[in-house]
Every structure is written in C-alpha cells, then in structure tokens.
Structure 1
C-alpha cells in the first residue's frame, strides 16, 4: 500500500488493485500537486460536504466512474447529480471490494455551496477509518478535539492517522497533540494547514512534538509505503 499527501486534506492511497482519494480538493488548492483533469481514482472517500473537501469530486468521479463514499445526505445529493454514490452514516461500516470503510464522529459543520450561492445541507461530518491489505488509515476529518478519539485509538490498531492542525476551523496544534496521544497511530501526519492565511501553522514543529508513535509532516506529493 502506498500513501501520499497532496495539500490541505487530500490523501491518495494506492493498493494492489485500487486508487482511493480522500477529500480531493485540487482545483483552487495552490498547495496541491495533482491534476484534476488527469488524476485516476477508482474510489473517492469524503469526510464531509464543505467545498474544500468535496473539491473536484464531480469531475473526477464522472471521468473515472468512481464510487463515491460519503455521509448519507451528501451521498444522496451527489447521486442526484449523477454520481455513483454510496451513503453511510456515523458509526456504520461497510466491506467494499477495495477495503473496509467506517465513519467516526467529527465535531464540525457540513454543507455544500453551489456556484450561485445556494447552500445544501450535507448531513453530519465524519472521520473515516479505512482498512485494506491489513493496514488501517484514520482520516480524522475536520474536527475539534473530543474524548471519543481516545476510544477510537483503543478499539483500532491504526497504522497512520491524518490529523488537522490548522486551528480556527478545526483543532489547532496543541489539541492535535492530545489527539495524537489518544489515537495512538504508528505514524501521525498533520493536515488541513497553510491552505489559507487563517490556518497557517508549522507542520514540522507539530510533528516533532508528537509523543505517541512517529510524527511526520509529509511534503506535498511525498509517498509512504506501508
């Protein structure tokens, strides 16, 4: 399994048979090194409906006939727009041919804004536990610090966790360090920072302070193999 980070909350996972994208905010994301017009994806996993997470889902999914897995209300909205969407809800899990997906809680908002300003309710935001090839990835999503993160760490053997550190819209570095201790991942990677001025942070500084497992600030496009 190969895992790479592409700015904001964009994560790509390549298994033996599938390419999976988390929250593919590519166009308009100056930090992202991917090309929304050419990227291949069999699967798109969405933590919530905000535009900086849904991103280029429509274009990528239509071109690749990707399956899009998302919280129920968001998935229903995407399906109404013609995408192949699979709805899930917080606490639910499903075994797909590409791996197992389970949605966890996240304390945040969730709405999708159309170009004309129309705001669509996106259901509850979530985090995603994704397991394939014997490895478990936890994309925490956009969230505040909350104590059930400790429970998720105790219940799951997490190989790598992607934790937001940007502050303002999510937890900041201090709370994210507590989250890393609770989640107990072998590797903790900071995400959701430096895309906008209000969420500017020092990812290397954060990673150096992670006490449980290894903190690692991935460079854009940097790839890990699990």
Structure 2
C-alpha cells in the first residue's frame, strides 16, 4: 500500500471517528441550550422560562392559593416578561393586575377582560381566539377553551419556542373536538393538562380521552387538582395516569427542565 493511500485512509478514519464521537456531543449541547423550564406553582399557575430567558407567568393565583408554598406567595418575587390569564375566575386571575403594576409586564388575555384592568395601553394586551403575540423568543397563540368566563370567553394558550417545540396550557376546559386543530397547527410537545374534575372542569378520564384522541405529546403535566375539596387528589390523578411514561407528576413549587 502506498504512503499516499495510507495517509488518505487515516484521514478518512479520523473524520469518521470525529463524526461519530463529536456530533452527538454537539447535539446534546444544543438540546441543553434549548431547555424549557416549567415551574408549577399550584392549581393552574405556572412560570415557564424559555431557553432565551423569556419568563411567562400563566394564571397567577398565588397569595390565597392553598397549594402554593408559602415561600412562593410573595408577588414581588415575580418579574415576568408577560402574564397570561386564561379566564376571569379568581383562581386564575386574582394576582394578575398587582404583578403587572409592580413589574410592568403586559397582561395577555381575552380583550373584554383585559379592558377592565385599567392598565396602560402598553400593558393591556387584549386579544381573541386565533390571536398571536410575540414576547421575547416566545410566540403565544390564543386558542379556545370550553369554560365560562365573564366578560369574554375562556382561553387556552400555546407557547411556541425557538427550537420548534411548543407547550399547550389548556386552561379550564372540557375536551372538545377543536382540540384536533390545536394538534394539527401546533403539535404541542408539552401539555399542561387540566385534570382535576369536580363541579367545574374535566376530570382524569376526560383528560386522558382528550390526549388519546387528539394529541401526541412527549410530556404531560397534570394540573388543577388537589387545591380545593371536590377536586381530584394527587393520589387519584397519579392512579389514573399510572403506566403512562409521558406523565410528569409535579409538586407545587417543583421546577423541571424539558
């Protein structure tokens, strides 16, 4: 074998070696940079932080929330890039205005309700079903929810991230056929799924059916349970979802990276 051929083979082998050993490391680093941080604050309240540092506070019910840890109740600790409110009921909206006034963050919700808050125009971001807002590196889509709300209609939210993934917060809802369009349009990889049941919202059986019929998420985080008497307990929700490896049961205050 000639020296030239030997050198060529060594160069080829080195290239293959580097491709095999180094490219996965690059991919791992990219995935790490694209991590989405999700903190459950109890009930339907979440703080979601994008890989670019955009902080989205959803359905802020903190000071009077029996599920929120005492260490997380102080409104002054929250400095969101935006506040999303799915509907006007107190257990989803009660702290929205105070946090907005203190932090300067915009409130994104149904137009009719946002108009009642008395916020400056720059912070009062009313929209409607099908509307879209851009906050930092996150695109926020307003989608329907099947629930009452006064004034205006109840919403869910889809957050799209720079890495192509999306997160769906269902708000308070019953499963409905238009969920198939949410899947078709946005393909949520993470679903924050109302599953507590009781007099006002879907329970575990309906939540499981919604996922089975309409969605293909990588991660399901049950929410809106265990807060008040009449809602499903954590043990009941855990039992209902037993065996589904996509389900992440969080404790109020927990923060996970996805």
TM-score range (shorter-chain normalised) is 0.7 to 0.9
Q: Which runs of 5+ in 1 are unaligned?
A: 112-120
Tell me the CA shift for residue 53 of structure 1: 0.4
Q: Give the strand-richer structure, 1 or 2.
A: 1
Who is 1:223 aligned against? 255
Question: Which residue of 12, 15, 26 corresponds with 2:62?
Answer: 26
Question: Which residue of 213, 233, 237 corresponds with 1:203?
Answer: 237
Question: Which residue of 209, 221, 230 corresponds with 1:189?
Answer: 221
Tell me the CA shift for residue 96 of structure 1: 3.2
Alignment partners' CA distance in 2, 1:155 and 1:96 = 20
Who is 1:48 aligned against? 87
Question: Which residue of 176, 179, 193 corresponds with 1:149?
Answer: 179
Alignment partners' CA distance in 2, 1:67 and 1:157 = 26
Q: Over aligned residue pairs, what C-alpha RMSD do you find?
A: 1.7
Alignment partners' CA distance in 2, 1:157 and 1:108 = 22
**TM-score normalised per structure 2:** 0.77
Tell me the CA shift for residue 45 of structure 1: 0.8
1:14 has 2:53 as partner: no
Contact 1:188 1:207 (C-alpha < 8 Å) held by counterparts: no
**TM-score normalised per structure 1:** 0.87
Contact 2:87 2:154 (C-alpha < 8 Å) held by counterparts: yes
Moved over 6 A (4+): none
Contact 1:48 1:124 (C-alpha < 8 Å) held by counterparts: yes
Deviates more, 1:28-37 or 1:4-13: 28-37
Question: Which residue of 157, 167, 171 corresponds with 1:128?
Answer: 157
Who is 1:115 aligned against? none
Distance 1:82 1:51, change over 3 A: farther
Who is 1:36 aligned against? 75
Who is 2:169 aligned against? 139
Alignment partners' CA distance in 2, 1:147 and 1:89 = 19
Q: Which runs of 5+ in 2 are unaligned?
A: 1-35
Alignment partners' CA distance in 2, 1:10 and 1:26 = 8
Distance 1:195 1:110, change over 3 A: same
Kindly name which structure, 1 or 2, has the bigger radius of gyration based on alpha carbons: 2
Alignment partners' CA distance in 2, 1:219 and 1:180 = 22
